[in-house]
Structure 1
């Protein structure tokens, strides 16, 4: 007997309420079969079995609170062993019409091959060689991800650790490698669909021979031409369908579509009915019912479509797409920030000529060391120097607005427009980094962000942010604070504009507009302006930063 320990089911979650047991004591269950529905303070989650076997004890009753990392239920033995023993006990009292599925596979093997004592064992080994790959934990608190791109196709050979699929969570783009070598037999999701953590992602045939699948298809064709075997299989097929294996979500989907789930052929492990099986069954029915109508109206529809395009010239149909991944988390974060933080803004302009000259002088030296030098490292380092004198700008307020936490480290975030959406990685401990080290970090983070491969560590723990809208072409902006931070600055593009010098002569000057947003609960306008003026002084006179560097 082995205890199933309730795993981590979300960031910061230590307990959950047991809503419903999906099995009872004494039931035989399969690996990954849903066992219980539990509710946390964030969502309702189905807990799957880690192994096959027999449920010997349920440690909680419906309505009770279960603790994370404590036993949830006990599992006795292995399902294969249980089924083998169960089949043996029935063999003495059952006739041939009640033959179990493994025995039927043995009969198929004997029909398609020369009789051999090893045929039955061979068929059983082949059935075990097709494995479902279970989507593992891919980040703290992440329960689902979007399929961005399959890197393989069904029927393609893969090797151990070969990248199989790219998935996008609400934090980053992740490549999922193959756990074993073999042949991809089925992909359970299409691109753009959402896959659940701890659910099957694809199935893999790990047999060395590539003709296993073809051999089984030929066997099935030969069996279909044998009247006696067909007559024996029909009642067995009915008994299997009466006990269709499916999760509660799939059964609910079948009920919503008035569909008898026992009529659906399951493509999952050991005949499990999946959501795509329901969809395929419904599509097939609809196609059968509407085939004649489609053929009759095809030309009419084509003519109408052609006429519509000629008269209107454009497609007037609206497009609807779900908000997922980075877009979803950004929408939630920005909404929370705007409605919980009273923003205020101040703007100014900075003369950039001296800073641009310093960059030109240092650029070649940095490139000689393998690092590109942009203006961003200067913005970041000077911002850190200003934060030392105005720590309130680097502080954070608690949700109840009763305490202020002054953050000692300066973890300065930089907004990056990546291919998966807006990302704000941050450079940790800027106060103790040199200009060269900051330039290295900027180059690393921007490169990873544009590939969508930032780690959770790079995205967590920011204390203040910089949004460089100028690289796209904007001059001013009103940035939204990246909660729980208290301030953010937007940098406009550098423009060559006329200005008056001390002698009232008009001179061309490189000007950059800056726009600050602050949390008005803890930062007042005067403090923000003093802080901004100090930061501005460092940028307009870069040599003044030397007096502050330690």
Structure 2
């Protein structure tokens, strides 16, 4: 039997992954749980294990392809079970028999099982001898419009067929499919359906028909509906318009608090200036609304039509001397076009572009959220680290004997954990929904790590309960895994406070961005010899610079200063850590 394996759902809202590398080839023998591929999500790189013992039959994606969760990426031949062709023939025969017994005479009378069978058939091969790559929503739309998905040329990543491709193919086919789509939408008049749907976007469900923008919109959409002929014979455009209208019937339900979408879909929404929470959808994943790229483009097109109609209506009103007309709520505000243009960067000769996606984009979004959610205040100070340097030198040889590289970071982690005991407000998170400050009982310290993919933050749990060598060993291991991109998501979760050591690269002071939803992050500068006044004399001392950023909604400047003062005490005299 041929066993299909779909890209698994790794949770946390991840909707797709980029295939990085195959570890097997067709014909290879595999065992259950053997790693067959590496996939990069917008969270991390994950290994994909084989679900069965068998032989690799076919690889259905290429390295570099972005594959939606739930799409088949590989098939296996499993011994001792019937072949896929035999099973398919048997299923077709049984389905035909059941349809005859039930007296089914039209495709509309078939149930869910029929739809599932059709989808299975569509997912096998296309008319060109290859497999059809298409999202379930695109397959469903193809069935609704009567389009042979095997004949559709996919314009998506890796040749994937999107809803837009299906609609384009349906439009090329002409006539009757458009009418059928309009009937399924519950309207015999395609034009009215689209006018009604987009008019709700235009005039905010006023329904009074008095808005000049609404009238203009109806006029504009009417031209789309009847192909500019004015005689209602433009059935190709009418069918496609009705399909868009069917997707827009839930416009009034938009404005959600949370929407699941693939990173690529969010990028399209940003490029088109669409708020993804406003895009209507009837798809749900994990109990949350899910929006795909086709839905975003449809919604953007509806908005564009509304805006054009508003502009036409306003121009008509002004030419007639009616200066009191106001644009509808959906109209583009003045200066919006200029702002959109500013978001686009023109590349000159010699410039290089690379995709802003995956882990890099996730890091950027997290930084943006942290910076613009938590009001940052940074407290700068310096500490005489001469004793710290001497203590590390004494212990370094002992650590080397045990195979552990001992840096200054474990000392700082222990000092931070001790200082948090005395100043717990810096070990907090702000629960905005419940309007509560959560004082965390754990001392889980994240260590910001520079990698080729961007900044990652491995978390060392229970720092207050571990010795220096164990902290050093765990930290080194986690940092190495982060740089190798083999770190698990759970190893970067649960932090209560973060340390970033920019001094390892070079630097004195900085303004670290808080690892939201934490409320504080400590930046370490380089330890360098500097002149300091000691007992009235200027002498050379090893000095460590500190930069503490805090969320000013929770932590006052005085709290930050007191925390740093306590931290300095432990770093200036590391023997105090023996009491902890």
CA shift, 1:182, in A, is 4.6
Match of 1:539 among 571, 575, 578: 571
SS of the residue 1:378 aligns to: helix
Q: Check whether the contact 1:146–1:324 (CA below 8 A) recurs between aligned residues.
A: no
Determine the C-alpha separation between the residues in 2 that align with 1:419 and 1:368: 31
Per-residue CA deviations over 1:335-377 (Å, capped at 9, x if unaligned) read: 1111111111111112222111111111222233332211111
Match of 2:159 among 245, 251, 276: 276
Match of 2:455 among 400, 419, 422: 422
Match of 1:178 among 50, 59, 62: 50
Determine the C-alpha separation between the residues in 1 that align with 2:459 and 2:138: 42
Return closer, same or farther for 1:162/1:244 CA change in 2, 3 Å cut-off.
closer
Determine the C-alpha separation between the residues in 2 that align with 1:334 and 1:131: 42
Gaps of 5+ in 2: 86-117, 124-133, 166-346
Match of 1:485 among 490, 502, 518: 518
In the superposition, the TM-score normalised over structure 1's length comes to 0.57
CA shift, 1:391, in A, is 0.7
Match of 1:263 among 131, 151, 167: 151
Per-residue CA deviations over 1:191-217 (Å, capped at 9, x if unaligned) read: 232222222112234469xxx99xxxx
CA shift, 1:393, in A, is 0.8
Per-residue CA deviations over 1:367-413 (Å, capped at 9, x if unaligned) read: 33332211111000001111111111112221158321111111111
Determine the C-alpha separation between the residues in 1 that align with 2:27 and 2:351: 37
Q: Check whether the contact 1:430–1:438 (CA below 8 A) recurs between aligned residues.
A: yes
Match of 1:146 among 12, 18, 29: 18
Instruction: Provide the aligned C-alpha RMSD in A.
Output: 3.5
Match of 1:436 among 454, 458, 469: 469
In the superposition, the TM-score normalised over structure 2's length comes to 0.54
- For 1:508-519, list aligned pairs within 5 A: 508-519=540-551
Determine the C-alpha separation between the residues in 2 that align with 1:474 and 1:168: 32
Match of 2:494 among 455, 458, 461: 461
CA shift, 1:155, in A, is 5.1
Match of 1:361 among 387, 394, 397: 394
Q: Check whether the contact 2:66–2:157 (CA below 8 A) recurs between aligned residues.
A: no
Confirm or deny that 1:523 pairs with 2:541.
no
Aligned to 1:193: 65
Aligned to 1:227: none
Q: Check whether the contact 2:19–2:63 (CA below 8 A) recurs between aligned residues.
A: yes
Determine the C-alpha separation between the residues in 2 that align with 1:252 and 1:475: 58
- For 1:360-379, list aligned pairs within 5 A: 360-379=393-412
Determine the C-alpha separation between the residues in 1 that align with 2:358 and 2:153: 32
Runs of 4+ that moved beyond 6 A:
252-255
Aligned to 2:479: 446
Aligned to 2:88: none
SS of the residue 1:493 aligns to: coil
Q: 1 or 2, which has the higher helix percentage?
A: 2
CA shift, 1:170, in A, is 2.9
Determine the C-alpha separation between the residues in 2 that align with 1:342 and 1:153: 52
Per-residue CA deviations over 1:34-75 (Å, capped at 9, x if unaligned) read: xxxxxxxxxxxxxxxxxxxxxxxxxxxxxxxxxxxxxxxxxx
Q: Check whether the contact 1:476–1:514 (CA below 8 A) recurs between aligned residues.
A: yes
Confirm or deny that 1:399 pairs with 2:469.
no
Determine the C-alpha separation between the residues in 2 that align with 1:277 and 1:481: 39
Return closer, same or farther for 1:343/1:155 CA change in 2, 3 Å cut-off.
same
- For 1:104-119, list aligned pairs within 5 A: none
SS of the residue 1:518 aligns to: strand
Determine the C-alpha separation between the residues in 2 that align with 1:395 and 1:451: 31
SS of the residue 2:510 aligns to: coil
Return closer, same or farther for 1:421/1:193 CA change in 2, 3 Å cut-off.
farther
Determine the C-alpha separation between the residues in 2 that align with 1:274 and 1:336: 29
Gaps of 5+ in 1: 1-128, 214-239, 267-272, 283-313
Match of 2:349 among 312, 316, 320: 316
CA shift, 1:147, in A, is 1.4
SS of the residue 2:537 aligns to: coil
